[in-house]
Amino acid sequence: MNLTLAKVNSLPVPTWFRLGINDTQLSETIPEVHPYEGEYLSAERPENVEISFDPFPAPDLSTGMGDGARNFTEDNRTCGVTVRVPDGVKAGKPVFLTFHLDETNPSVLDVNTVIAGEGSEVTVVMSYESRSDFFGFHGGLTRLYAEKNAVIRLIQVQMLGDGCLHYDDVGAQCGENGEVSVIQAELGGKNAAAGLKAVLKGRKSRLNLDTIYFGDRGRSIDINYVAQHVGSASRSEIHASGALLDESRKTFRGTIDFLKGAKRAVGHESEYSLLFSPKVVNRSAPLILCAEEDVEGQHAASAGKIDSNRLFYLMSRGLSELEARKLLIEAQFRPVTDRIPDPALRSAVSDYVKVRLEAIEPVSE
């Protein structure tokens, strides 16, 4: 079937149209969609946490990728879970969801909801995998509701094959002193998109968002993050880093939006791109929108080559230039991947990046 989603990952306020960064379009022929066959929820589950396969009748909660993507995912849902954590429950183990794209499940559209009751804590780990030569489609929609004093940790790792179209669309809402922490690793796929919008409604609510991306070959990555500060003393930390090789393309949009009344709110955003090929396309639009005086908003972005001093240091220790570069790419990802709670998944991510780095050797040299 044909998938065409226009106005995806829109900037909250547009800028010059000719820059082509205001939004993107996803247009692809995707395999037929039918219900997911097989298990994707790990048998090992935390106690006192209610997990159901029924979709959550979501109230209106906007997401990073916009209405088009959200409606499409919901309308074509093939799988997904609703996780409810009762008040005061701190889930000892993560909820693991592993989605395999293969001939049985060539198109996966998962819709997931996490509701963390007052004072509760939960971690949800999602991974998307396929064979490296597989052609498939994944669209994910995840809604997070962190109520007063609740903490939700979401980890999403995408390691799909070179023929896949993929998107992760997230919407989050935090009550008073609630926290949403998200790690996204956008590592594979042919075209990958990710969007997240967090509404920091409550006083002292928090968003922590760390993302890593890895572009090689002709891969395209399109990201849109929005932290909307409503509550006073709310805090957002958005940090992205990645590497681009070969003819890959990346667009990063990150917005800190201070609404009137978000007094003493703090928003920090950074993006660091390592560039390894004269043919990469690296685009960034870090925005701060501010309607409240008593806030602190900062963003920083940098892009360029690996620092020559660091490279020289490693080469003086006996590494070849290529080995040194690979080590530095891995090192850039490490602070984020180290926070994946499952050792097997952490190791899989590490291996996945290594394989990709090995594969690019004959192309880059």
Partner 1 sequence: MHKRKTQVEDIDRTVYDIRDRVDPSYQVGQGLTAKIVNEISAAKNDPEWMRLFRLKSLQVYNRLQLPGWGPPLDGLNMDEIVTYIRPNTGMKAKWNEVPDDIKNTFERLGIPEAERKSLAGVGAQYDSEVVYHNVREEVSRQGVVYTDMESAIRDPEYGPMVRKHFMKLVPPEDHKFAALHGAVWSGGSFVYVPPGVNVEIPLQSYFRLNAPGAGQFEHTLILVSEGASLHFIEGCSAPKYNVANLHAGCVELFVGKNARLRYSTIENWSKNMYNLNTKRAVVEEGGTIEWVSGSFGSHVSYLYPMSILKGEGSRMEFTGITFAGKGQSLDTGAKVVHAAPHTYSSINTKSISKDGGRCTYRSAVNILPNAYGCKSSVSCESLMLDDRSRSDTIPVMDIRNDDVDVGHEAKIGRISDDAIFYLMSRGISEEDAKAMIVTGFAEPIAKELPVEYAVEMNNLIKLEMEGSIG
- For residues 79 and 243, which CB has a smaller minimum distance to partner 1 in the complex? 243
Interface of this chain with partner 1, residues 289 to 328, rule: CB under 8 A: 289-305
- By C-alpha distance, which of 53, 13, 72 is closest to 289? 13
> Which one of residues 1, 4, 14, 53 is an interface residue with partner 1 (CB under 8 A)?
14
CA–CA gap between residue 161 and residue 335 (Å, rounded): 24
Angle between helices 321-337 and 343-364 (to 10 degrees): 150
**Beta strand pairing status for 82-85 and 50-52?**
antiparallel
Count residues contacting partner 1 (CB under 8 A)?
Answer: 45
By CB under 8 A, residue 288 contacts partner 1: yes
Report, in Å, the least distance between residue 245 CB and partner 1: 9
44 burial (CB, 10 Å; 0-12 / 13-18 / 19+) is: exposed
- For residues 15 and 320, which CB has a smaller minimum distance to partner 1 in the complex? 15
Interface of this chain with partner 1, residues 126 to 165, rule: CB under 8 A: none
By CB under 8 A, residue 21 contacts partner 1: yes
- Cite the beta strand spans of the chain per DSSP E: 2-8, 24-29, 50-52, 82-85, 95-101, 107-116, 121-130, 137-146, 151-159, 165-174, 179-186, 191-200, 206-215, 220-229, 235-244, 249-258, 266-275, 281-290, 296-304
By CB under 8 A, residue 17 contacts partner 1: yes
- For residues 21 and 221, which CB has a smaller minimum distance to partner 1 in the complex? 21
By CB under 8 A, residue 226 contacts partner 1: no
By CB under 8 A, residue 225 contacts partner 1: no
Report, in Å, the least distance between residue 20 CB and partner 1: 9
Interface of this chain with partner 1, residues 245 to 274, rule: CB under 8 A: 258, 260, 263, 273
C-alpha to C-alpha distances, 51 to 84, 88, 142, nearest whole angstrom: 6, 17, 14
By CB under 8 A, residue 286 contacts partner 1: yes
By CB under 8 A, name the binding residues for partner 1.
11, 13-17, 19, 21-22, 244, 258, 260, 263, 273, 275-305
